[in-house]
Amino acid sequence: MSPPYIGPAITSVVDGLKSQPMTLALVVINLALLGIIWFETNQIFSMQSEINALLSKCVDPEILRALGLLPKL
């Protein structure tokens, strides 16, 4: 017997997942895939910011301004 505070919609979803465990497995796999994609995206952005910081120390801004790649001050 389910607790009285759980709505009938949630109860029917849980009953449906009990009768079809493959659906529950697919939901879990999809959530894991989203987590992996989120983690990898954060890793890529952090590496890109590190690369940008390193490159900004290697290139003289005056040369970039002479080439027209940076606005003149």
pLDDT tens track, the chain, 73 positions: 556 677 888 888 888 888 888 988 899 999 999 999 999 999 988 888 888 888 778 877 788 788 887 777 6
In a domain, 2, yes or no: no
The DSSP element (H or E) to which 35 belongs, if any, is: helix 21-58
Task: Considering only CA atoms, give the Rg of the chain.
Answer: 26
**Is 45 inside any structural domain?**
yes
Instruction: Say if 17 falls within a structural domain.
Output: yes
Indicate whether 31 belongs to any domain. Answer: yes
Residue 38 main-chain phi, psi, to 5 deg:
-65, -45
pTM given for the model: 0.53
Q: Is residue 51 part of a domain?
A: yes
Overall domain count for the chain? 1
pLDDT at 29: 96
What confidence score (pLDDT) does residue 40 get?
94
* 4 located within any domain: no
The rounded Cα 20 to chain-centroid distance in angstroms is 29
Amino acid 46: pLDDT: 87
pLDDT of residue 3: 61
Domain coverage including residue 48:
9-67
